[in-house]
Amino acid sequence: MYIIQLAPECAPVAKVGGLGDVVRGLSRELAIRGNAVEVILPKYDTLATGRIWGLAPAYNDLWVPWQDGQIHCTVWFGMAEGVNSYFIEPHGPGRFFERGRIYGEADDDLRFAFFCRAALEFMLKAGKRPDILHVHDWPAALAPVLLYEMYAALGLDRTRVCLTIHNLKHQGVTGPHLLHACGLHRPEYFLHYDRLRDNFHPGAVNLLKGGIVYANAVTTVSPTYAREMRTIENSCGLGHTLDLHAAKLSGVLNGVEYDVWNPETDRHLPAPFSVEHLAAREAAQRALRRRLGLRDGPGPLVMSIGRIDPQKGPHLIRHACALSLELGAQFALLGTATEPGLQEEFGRLAAGLEASPNARLVLRYDEELAHLLYAGADLLVVPSLFEPCGLTQLIALKYGTVPVVRNTGGLADTVFDADYSELPPERRNGYVFNDYDETGLESALRRAVACFREAPGRFRTLQVNGMRCDYSWNQPGGRYVEIYDHIRAR
Ligand code: ADP
């Protein structure tokens, strides 16, 4: 099969969160299975070009219809750590991808709508006729609309589309000016409730909704989130649309790239370790404590990693820090805030703990430190309000860090409580709580700390159970091939 992935991120060259990891991991898995796979990305000025082999212009003369004229683009090609990747560089005055960051600009709607239009124009002009166009989240969700309303008639009529929703909260809600900008000239038709009209703002265009309506298959990143996102509390206004299109909706759990995340081969660790040589994990823990300026012992070392965002339960992360210290344990955090208020709040907290030998908050993106944290911590807390899949608990499991998570989304599909799970003991791998409040978090974190201290044998069993889980791309890769086969034009 010939598959093109259209996405705003692909690790490691353009990554903000899990979406970037997933696009890379899935692309590599599909290629291993013998498919021809290409990724199309914007050519951001922040692109990690040092990690792209052979980056060079591949198509110099792409003119993309936009507003009332055309924008000249260069399309670059390179191998981004094993993934065939095209990068679209527009030369227009809007400087769409020269903003020093991937998201967060006032004109994100136009920037990514342009990206979709340019990608389809490129496919058309370069003679690319993929069997499958796999689009990710709202920034790529306009592509199926453009494909079926415009480009199918021009020759892209055999391509079928799979949309993956990584986070329903972000939908790309904008005004009808966007339709005009990208050549969808019948506002009354496109602003119909059955197409792109936002379900609650009649004058607004909802790009993710358009993707759901027009895609041939819609997936999200875990079976539990696929169910949750159709409930009133979690549907973010798209519940009715998802119900209408339920027949093409499914949940496929994300995988983890075990050639990147594997304690037996990880070059960021002082020494490899495995289920058979778990004691060697201590070297990573010592190195982590040295690196963070924490004193040796007392355990457990509790950690949190990821975006600091309202979705991730920031007040509960704070509480995990306070409780860890109160219990005489240690706490480490690596993360970047997504809002100025949270940046300030965690900045203050980090400054207040700067001299503590038992807590450290590192507020930046640091891939190397991430590896050491997964390998050297004892517990990972993930107290999310909602979590479509979550990668941090999957990576933690592989490294023998026991996850303490809220019972939601992909966390519920992958972490099974040591005391209360209905699964057999050999499948239990962490601690789970239900209520999104401090008492809920404490109910699990206190049990985890007690197990670490009072029942080390049992704690080791949890670590081993987690390390033996297979959350590689093997199974989800197979599932996606089935979905592609199902929707393919024959
Ligand atoms: P998100 O909601 O951000 O997509 P996920 O759990 O799905 O959350 O994925 C987060 C990914 O980003 C993981 O691979 C995690 O290790 C990584 N990550 C997040 N923040 C940082 C950081 N500050 N430094 C290094 N890696 C990070």
Structure tokens at 218: 């819609």
| Mean pLDDT calculated for residue range 73-87 | 97
Instruction: List residues bridging with 136 in a β-sheet.
Output: 164
Contact between 45 and 120 under an 8 Å Cβ cutoff? The reply is no
Closest residue by Cα to atom 16, ligand 1, is: 392
Report the percent of the chain where pLDDT is more than 90.
98
The predicted-structure confidence for 16-58, as pLDDT tens digits, reads as follows: 989 999 999 999 999 999 999 999 999 999 999 999 999 999 9
Task: Report the chain's mean pLDDT, rounded to a whole number.
Answer: 97
For residue 204, what are the CA distances in angstroms to 115, 188, 190, 207?
Answer: 20, 12, 11, 10
Are 125 and 74 a contacting pair, CB within 8 Å? Answer: no
Query: Three-state SS for 364?
Result: coil
In one-letter notation, the amino acid at residue 284 is A
Gap between the Cα atoms of 235 and 251, Å rounded: 15
**Beta carbons of 323 and 447 less than 8 angstroms apart:** no
Nearest CA to ligand 1 atom 18: 306
- Measured distance CA(341)–CA(309) in Å, rounded: 10
pLDDT at 98: 98
DSSP 182-241: TT---HHHHTSTTTTB-SS-TT-EEHHHHHHHH-SEEEES-HHHHHHTTSTTTSTT-HHH
pLDDT at 193 over 90: yes
Ligand 1 atom with minimal separation from the 393 CA = 6
User: 345 pLDDT band (50/70/90 cuts)?
Assistant: very high
pLDDT by residue (tens digit) across 356-374?
A: 999 999 999 999 999 999 9
pLDDT at 199 over 80: yes
Contact (Cβ atoms closer than 8 angstroms) between residue 349 and residue 325: no
Res. 298: pLDDT tops 90: no
Predicted local distance difference test score (pLDDT) of residue 119: 98
Report CA(366)–ligand 1 centroid distance (Å). Answer: 10
Residue 459 pLDDT > 90, yes or no? yes
What's the rounded Cα separation, in Å, for the pair 301 and 378?
5
Check residue 489 and give its pLDDT: 76
Measured in Å, residue 85 CA sits from the centre of ligand 1 at: 22
- Altogether, the residues listed in the chain come to a count of 490
Q: How far is the CA of 11 from the centre of ligand 1 (A)?
A: 11
When pLDDT is averaged across residues 289-308 and rounded to a whole number, the result is: 95
Distance 32 CA to ligand 1 centre (A): 25
Asked whether the predicted pLDDT for residue 229 surpasses 80, the reply is yes
Number of the ligand 1 atom closest to the C-alpha atom of 362:
23
Ligand 1: residue of 391, 393, 397 to mutate (most ligand atoms within 8 A of CB) is 391
The rounded Å distance from CA 307 to ligand 1 centre is 6
Q: Which of 291, 307, 343, 415 to mutate to test the pocket of ligand 1 (most atoms within 8 A of CB)?
A: 307
pLDDT in tens, 370-417: 999 999 999 999 999 999 999 999 999 999 999 999 999 999 999 999
- pLDDT the model gives residue 297: 79
Tell me how far the alpha carbon of residue 215 lies from the centroid of ligand 1, in angstroms.
28
**Confidence label for 92 from pLDDT (cuts 50, 70 and 90):** confident
